[in-house]
Amino acid sequence: MNRNITLDINSREIEFNVNPDAYNKFINEFQPTSKVAPSHAFLMRTVTEASKPALRELLAMPGAAVEIVGALVEEYKPNLIITVGKSSSSPSE
């Protein structure tokens, strides 16, 4: 699902074009010990050319990449309703 998403960040509209390939690459790069670099890369891969200068300024602020990527991913991912059901077989003892 390709999505054009605009985030209003510090009174600046930053536009992104997110697609499944970019999202999946971000998820695969994201590790417990590596969050900032994958977040920065995902944002720069998906931001529109017109919004790149403004995004670069924002990314110079500490923690901005992780905060912005959180908002972008939240807007991109689908809202799923997941319920865990009981197994049809009993666990063996």
Residue ranges per structural domain of the chain: 3-76
pLDDT in tens, 18-62: 999 999 999 999 898 999 999 999 999 999 999 999 999 999 999
Please check whether residue 48 is in contact with residue 16, taking contact to mean a CB–CB distance below 8 angstroms: yes
Q: Which residues contact 62 (CB under 8 A, 6 or more apart)?
A: none
The pLDDT score that the predictor gives to residue 87 is 74
Q: What pLDDT does residue 91 have?
A: 61
CA–CA distances in Å: residue 38 to residues 11, 29, 42, 88: 25, 6, 6, 40
**Are 54 and 11 within 8 A, CB to CB?**
no
Q: Measure CA of the first residue to CA of the last residue in the chain; give whole Å.
A: 44
